[in-house]
Structure 1
Amino acid sequence: MSKLRIAVIGCGSIAKYRHIPEYAGNPNVELVAFCDPVLERAESFAAIYGARAYQDYKKLLEEVKPDAVSVCTPNSLHAPVSIAAANAGAHVLVEKPMAASETEGLAMIEAAKSNKVVLMVGHNQRLMPPHVKAKEILDSGRLGRVLTFRTSFGHPGPEGWSVDGRESWFFRKEEAIMGAMGDLGVHKADLIRYLLNDEVAQVAAFIGTLDKPGADVDDNAVCTLRMRSGVIGSLVASWTYYKGEDNSTVFWCENGVMKIGAQDGDQVIVELRNGTEERYKVGAISTNDKQESSGVIDAFVQAVVTGERPIIPGEEGLSSLRVILAAFESQATGRIVTL
């Protein structure tokens, strides 16, 4: 089998730490092109992998004709780049949030369908080992019905992660569209939908900019969610957890409680009402400071190679995006928003 010819569009931190090394580690892949408005970034990766460097993604698609692309651009470009790639016949892995609006998300899904290419969204939280284990436990029914939950994702902000630091596009609304909610909140909306195998029915949210001077996007959000099944819970996204990252989820259920990523060392803890306790060390949740393989790249490559539906298709990315968009609507109107 000939190797998949991959182009990476956008050469910032998510490409540097996740996409590029994970493609390089996949035996079915050849990295053939890199694109970034700062040409030197694309050139540095091109030199390592014997690939071509571009500033213009349209020119890349036309000249290189890659089999597949990773879209690692600022959020505002996710839809235009993904649609252009699909129209060029390339399979697409796009970072989250998949789009800036529902209309854009639907257009991306349609472009992938009409061109018969894979569209997958990089919601890596589903593939983190503690979350895989948590889903297995929930699906087993041992905890009974989930009644309430809280899920939180916070860190000190993108200035410590982005290649541009405090000058990053993450802080500019025109490019980022949304702040902590697009960076972190959409991950947890996706995770809750996935773990509960349920959809969000209603959202009430407080979203604001509390402590990032000069940022014109949100740095904090606290949301209350009601699922279709009746389960209620809270979702928190923050760029002001200055003492370190928190990516934890707790489910309170009929028969006990399950804590995920809430204590160091034990990634999943189950405490049953009958007094028994189970602790699982199943592998870490990736953090900005300590990168773990996301599993997203291998899953995308497998979907392209086998022709199977990707594990996180565009439709799933759109459902998670809708939750975030509803939260912004709630903040703007002061109302509970029904999806």
Structure 2
Amino acid sequence: MSKIRVAVIGCGAIAQRRHIIEYQTNEHVELVAFVDPVLERAEQCAAPFGAKAYADYTVMLKEIKPDAVSVCTPNATHAIISIAAAEAGAHVLVEKPMASTDKEAAQMIEAAKKNGVMLMVGHNQRFMPPHVKAKEILKSGVLGKVLSFRTSFGHPGPEGWSVDGKESWFFRKEEAIMGAMGDLGVHKSDLIRWLLDDEVADVAGFIGTVSKQDTDVDDSANCILRMKSGAIGSLVASWTYYKGEDNSTVLWCENGVMKIGTDPEDQVIVELRNGNVERYKVGAIATNTVQVTSGVIDEFVHCIVTNTPPSISGEEGRKSLNVILAAFESQATGKMISLN
């Protein structure tokens, strides 16, 4: 089988630290083009692969006609670029949040369907070994029903991660649309939906900018979620955890508690009401400081090679996005928002 010709659109931190590296190690892929409005950045990424560099994605799509693209651009452009790529006949892997609005997400799904291409959203939390293990334990039934939970993702902010530091697009609302919630919160809304195999019914959100200067994007959020099953929990997203990242989830269940990512040694801990404690060393959850393979690229490529629809489809990305959008609506209106 000939290799999948992939173009990476947007050559910032996520492209450099995840997408490019993981495509490079996948035997089915040939990296053929890189796009960035800062042409020099695209050229630096392209050079090791003898690939072409572009400043304009529309020109690239026309000239290169890639089989697949990774959309790693600022949030505001995810939809327009994904739709253009789908219309050019390319499979699309888009970074999270997949879009800025529900309408955009729907248009992306429609464009992929109409053009017979795959649309996948880069929610890597589903592939992290501790989360995979946690879901397996939940499915075994040993803990019984999940009653309550808290899921949290916080770090000091994108200035230490983004290639542009404090000047990053992450802090410009017209490009970012949302801050910590779009960066981290949407990962957790996706995780909790997937982990509990449940949908969010109601959301109440407290979202604000409590610490970052010269920006009007959110740096802190605390949301209360009620699931369709009745389970009630909290979702936290923050760029203000200046002393230590947190990427943990705790599930309180009928028969005990499961702690995920709370201990540096044992990534999953199950404490049962009967006194039994089980500890699992299954590998780390990726952080900004510790980059482990995300699993996203390999899944995307596998789906293309085997012609299998991606598990993290546009529809899945849309549901996870809508939880975050509902939290913003709750903050704006002071009301609890119901999701249909």
Same fold per superposition (TM over 0.5):
yes
Aligned residue number for residue 177 of structure 1 = 177
CA distance in 1: counterparts of 2:50 and 2:260, whole angstroms:
41
Q: Which residue in the other structure is 1:125 paired with?
A: 125
1:68-107 equivalence runs, <5 A: 68-107=68-107
CA RMSD between the two structures? 0.4
| 1:244, distance to aligned residue in structure 2 (A) | 1.6
Tell me, which stretches of 5 or more residues in structure 2 are unaligned? none
1:196-233 Cα shifts (integer Å, max 9, x gaps) = 00000000010000000011100000000000010000
Name 2:141's counterpart in structure 1: 141
| 1:1-339 correspondence runs (5 A) | 1-339=1-339
Question: Could you tell me how far 1:305 is from its partner in structure 2?
Answer: 1.1
Counterparts of 2:265 and 2:13, CA distance in 1: 27
TM-superposed CA distance for 1:188, in Å, is 0.2
| Paired AA for residue 194 in structure 2 | Y
In the alignment, the residues of structure 2 paired with residue 289 and residue 92 of structure 1 have an alpha-carbon distance, to the nearest angstrom, of 27
Please report how far the alpha carbon of residue 297 of structure 1 lies from its aligned counterpart in structure 2 after TM superposition: 0.1
Whole-angstrom CA distance in 2 between matches of 1:128 and 1:40 = 33
Task: State the alpha-carbon separation in 1 of the partners of residues 307 and 112 from structure 2.
Answer: 13
How far apart, CA to CA, are the structure 1 residues paired with 2:277 and 2:229? 27
Matched AA of 1:170:
F
Shift of 1:311: 1.6
The one-character-per-residue Cα deviations of 1:42-97 (angstroms, maximum 9, x if unpaired) are 00111111100000000000000000000000000000000000000000000000
**3-state SS of the aligned residue for 1:279?**
strand
Shift of 1:306: 1.0
SS in 2 for 1:26: coil
SS at match of 1:37: coil
> 1:263 deviation in Å?
1.2
| Mapped partners of 2:157, 2:244: distance in 1 | 10
- Aligned mates of 1:162, 1:45 — CA distance in 2: 16
Which ranges of structure 1 fall in alignment gaps of 5 or more residues?
none
Q: Distance in 2 between matches of 1:49 and 1:287?
A: 27
Question: How many Å separate the matches in 2 of 1:122 and 1:46?
Answer: 22
Q: TM-score, normalised by structure 2?
A: 0.99
The whole-number CA distance in structure 2 between the counterparts of 1:133 and 1:110 is 34
Give 1:4 deviation, angstroms: 0.1
Alpha-carbon deviation of 1:191? 0.2
**1:117-150 Cα distance to aligned partner (Å, 9 max, x none):** 0000000000000000000001111000110000
Q: Which amino acid aligns with 1:218?
A: D
Aligned-pair identity in percent equals 75
Distance in 1 (alpha carbons) for counterparts of 2:323 and 2:146 = 20
CA separation in 1, counterparts of 2:161 and 2:337? 33
* TM-score, scaled relative to structure 1: 1.00
What secondary structure is seen at the aligned counterpart in 1 of 2:335? coil
Deviation per CA, 1:263-294: give whole Å up to 9, x if none.
11110000000101000000100010110000
Residue 175 of structure 1 deviates from its aligned partner by 0.2
Runs of 4+ in 1 over 4 A off after TM superposition: none
Equivalents in 1 of 2:50, 2:237: separation in Å?
39
After superposition, give the CA deviation of every residue in 1:271-329 in whole Å (9 maximum; x if it has no partner): 00010100000010001011000000000001111111102000000000000000000
CA distances 1:169-193 after superposition (whole Å, capped 9, x unpaired): 0001100000000000000000000
